[in-house]
Chains A and B, each alone.
Chain A
């Protein structure tokens, strides 16, 4: 456990030395806040709160898909990674450290969205709901962490970047993150419950506002977690088999 913290610390240090990497995942949701949420829903406390929660979900998704997808794929190219496996420890601390570091960076990437939501819109949240939302962030990180890990372990780094870029926007639009609950264009309302982004967003909405989660979205989120866990687990073992057996 202590070693996991050590690994997390140095992985964070590695990433934070390249600040652009940290700001990257925070940029798009923050920009969306400024261009779409602030002008259109900024004055409406309920709408702004929902919209901010959506952008937080967006941020969680993109942060996780990118940092795991691209980070793991790049890591696999580096000789440092096999070197660490000659140290007297298993692969678990490095993996646990990566997930811890990922969670920290996810929270960091949320700061701009939350700050914009709090200062430039009428979004409101009680302290209790805010804490609940903080916890919810960790929960909804799970499917996207698994998605990122699957990408990172399956693909070489150049392909991983492209795939991460290809999927994060459709997931955001398709899940209805860029429109108010129930207000998305018709076909999006139809497909949204089947995407992991929707279930995640609904959990965020329920955390910060008076929203009843749709069972279908939640069930599908569970299905996604199971599928992605299986895929990520398979990709991880395949990679282990190729490089370390």
Chain B
């Protein structure tokens, strides 16, 4: 059963095309990660799905209805990227306020306990730390015993411990049969939680696949070194020469280094660094001809979805 669906959904803000013919289907019981760099269109897609915005063209559906109808939102829970509850209200009051909108809300104490907020019930939200406020915002998504939660960058700004508390809560919800659509610009987070990943870049779906397949696409490393010439190397997505240094973006840094050594190429000053998601996306979406043949299954989006072809920047 499909709980949320976008069909060729586009969204334009003035001159900016934030979403470009996006297809997405979230089925009951799935835990889907929406991965993409900042400004990729993740939040816009979330806003369309929860009814805060209307698509400029195309369709969005929630439980088979229009997300803008209140009835369609009865079984969802939402954490937006920005959620500041009124600063003078106490944590418990904010929970009670949201609870009042649902027929069978989770008892306040149980909810706060689940998200490590039990000690803070009497605290005014204005006095919470950023991380505590974020945890409260995520907790609110679960108040109404939703069947689907949509979490837009739920762990941004959290420290490691708080992030793991949240991950546990999200996993527990999913283990009980709940469906999750969660956006993040951390590959690590999506790897830790999601089974299926939808990669969004420049408003388009670039990939819609398993975590492993997507890791192959975006798990790009930057290998840089000083050398006069290079042999054919495996897995290189892009090559640049900057100030005499060669920068190779590769999907498999280990294999590349092994090949360098095996070929007895003279080089100095080797560095291997992880790339940011932005760099990885740029690499896979740019039209630069890869240096050598990219191995099958990497360097290319793996989806058949419309708009899944790499674009030329």
**B124 and A80 contact, CB distance less than 8 A:** no
Interface of B is mostly: loop
Contact B85 A82 (CB under 8 A): no
Contact B73 A17 (CB under 8 A): no
Residue B54 is within 8 A (CB to CB) of chain A in the complex: yes
Q: How many angstroms from the CA of A79 to the CA of B80 in the assembled complex?
A: 9
Q: Which residues on A sit within 8 Å (CB–CB) of B74?
A: 88
Partner of B52, one of A80, A88, A244: A244
CA distance A79 to B134 in the complex (A): 13
Given the interface pairs A83-B83, A86-B76, A90-B70, the reply to whether A14 lies near B88 with Cβ below 8 Å is: yes
Q: Given A79-B83, A80-B83, A88-B71, decide whether A17 and B124 contact each other with a Cβ distance below 8 A.
A: yes
A18 touches B88 (CB 8 A): yes
A13 proximity list for chain B (CB < 8 A) = 88-89, 93
When distances are taken between beta carbons in the complex, the residues of chain A under 8 Å from B50 are: 86
Asked if B267 is an interface residue, CB under 8 A from chain A, the answer is no
Q: Which of B85-143 contact A (CB under 8 A)?
A: 85-86, 88-89, 93, 97-98, 100-102, 124, 137, 140
> How many B residues touch the partner, as a band?
20 to 34
Contact B86 A82 (CB under 8 A): no
With contacts A3-B101, A86-B73, A88-B102 known, is A79 near B53, CB below 8 A?
no
Report A70-109 residues with CB < 8 Å from chain B CB: 78-80, 82-83, 85-90
From B73, B86, B137, B144, A14 is in contact (CB under 8 Å) with B86
User: Which A6-49 residues have C-beta < 8 A from chain B?
Assistant: 6, 10, 13-15, 17-18
Contact of B97 among A10, A78, A245 (CB under 8 A): A10
A79 partner residues in chain B, CB cutoff 8 A: 80, 82-84
List, in ascending order, chain B residues with CB within 8 A of A87's CB: 73, 98, 101
Task: List chain A residues, Cβ under 8 A from B73.
Answer: 86-88
Q: Are B97 and A6 in contact, CB atoms less than 8 angstroms apart?
A: yes
Do B100 and A83 have beta carbons less than 8 Å apart?
A: no
Residues on B with beta carbons closer than 8 Å to the beta carbon of A82: 52, 80
Interchain CB contact (< 8 A) of A89 among B52, B70, B83, B89? B70
> Given that A88-B71, A244-B52 are contacting pairs, would A83 and B89 also be in contact in the complex, using a CB cutoff of 8 Å?
no
If A83-B83, A86-B52 touch, does A3 touch B100 (CB 8 Å cutoff)?
yes
> Would you call B78 an interface residue if the criterion is a C-beta within 8 Å of the partner chain's C-beta atoms?
yes
Contact B84–A78 (Cβ < 8 Å): yes
A90 CB to closest chain B CB, in angstroms? 5
Contacts of A6 in B (CB 8 A): 97, 100-101
Q: Give the chain A neighbours of B70 by CB distance below 8 A.
A: 88-90
Chain B residue with Cβ nearest A16: B88
Encode contact with A along B58-83: 1 for CB under 8 Å, 0 otherwise: 00000000000011011010101011
B101 pairs with A88, CB closer than 8 A = yes
Among B51, B71, B88, B100, the residue within 8 A (CB) of A86 is B51
- Give B residues with C-beta under 8 Å from A: 50-54, 70-71, 73-74, 76, 78, 80, 82-86, 88-89, 93, 97-98, 100-102, 124, 137, 140, 144
Enumerate 7 A-B pairs (CB-CB under 8 Å) in ascending A order: A14-B89, A79-B80, A80-B85, A83-B80, A85-B52, A86-B51, A88-B101
- Residues on A facing B (Cβ under 8 Å): 3, 6, 10, 13-15, 17-18, 78-80, 82-83, 85-90, 244-245
Given contacts A83-B78, A90-B70, 7 further A-B contacts (CB under 8 A): A3-B101, A6-B101, A14-B86, A82-B52, A83-B80, A86-B52, A87-B101
